[in-house]
Amino acid sequence: FYGIRFYNTSNVLIRNCVSEWNWYTGFSGNAASSYSHITIEDSVFRYNGADGINFALSGSSSSDHVIRRNTCYENGKHQNNPGFDFNHTWTSGIKILGFLTRRVLIERNRVYKNGYGGLGNRGNGIWLDFCKADSADNANVIRYNLIYDNNKMAVFLEVVDHCHVYGNVIFDNAHLGEA
């Protein structure tokens, strides 16, 4: 199901890993309670069924994560079932989901060719979903990434407060309907 999975885990470094051909995600960080200080760097996440990297929060808060110098490509593209599969409907290279997500730094990643045509959000490059930092001092930051050739948006901010997006190189995204 997952290449690397954390649940209610803090203070971890993932470096120089390759996570590929997993049914759902290459990395999944999830918690019913608070977790923080997970760094993922210098790794490759490719050919996973939904997301390359996915942080999700179903409980309290998530903060102080660093996603740096990774390559995320062709996720949400190869393991889709011929019929509808809910788990492969909303896909991305990097996805952060959670109501009180603060101080997440996403920088210097290469995110490309994620997703395939069809309904839903199949293939965003970097997607922050319901990430509501409580102040500008606790803002999430997306900077200095190379994001291209994704099926949907390069950067998708959905129900987000206090996020800084700057210095990214973005081109040739939104191939809506292409296989």
First to last CA, the chain: 24
Q: How far is CA 50 from CA 16, 60, 95, 129, 174, in A?
A: 21, 24, 10, 15, 17
pLDDT at 172 over 80: yes
pLDDT over 70, % of the chain: 87
pLDDT mean across residues, the chain? 89
Round to whole Å and give the CA distance between 10 and 36.
5
Tally Cβ neighbours within 10 Å of residue 101.
Answer: 25
pLDDT tens profile 70-89: 999 999 987 655 455 666 77
Contacts of 8 (CB under 8 A, 6+ apart): 31, 32, 33, 35
pLDDT tens profile 78-132: 765 545 566 677 899 999 998 788 999 999 999 999 988 666 668 999 999 999 8
Please report the pLDDT score of residue 178 as a whole number: 46
Contact predicate 141/177, CB 8 Å: no
pLDDT tens profile 18-63: 999 998 899 998 876 778 899 999 999 999 999 999 998 766 678 8
Please report the pLDDT score of residue 87 as a whole number: 64
Residue 138: helix, strand or coil by DSSP?
helix
Judge residue 135's burial from the number of C-beta atoms within 10 Å of its C-beta, 0-12 exposed, 13-18 middle, 19 or more buried.
exposed
171: enclosing H helix or E strand: strand 169-171
**Residue given tokens 């393991």 in the structure block:** 79
Please report the pLDDT score of residue 179 as a whole number: 40
Sign of torsion, CA 64 68 73 78? negative
Please report the pLDDT score of residue 61 as a whole number: 79
Calculate the CA 70 to chain-centre distance.
11
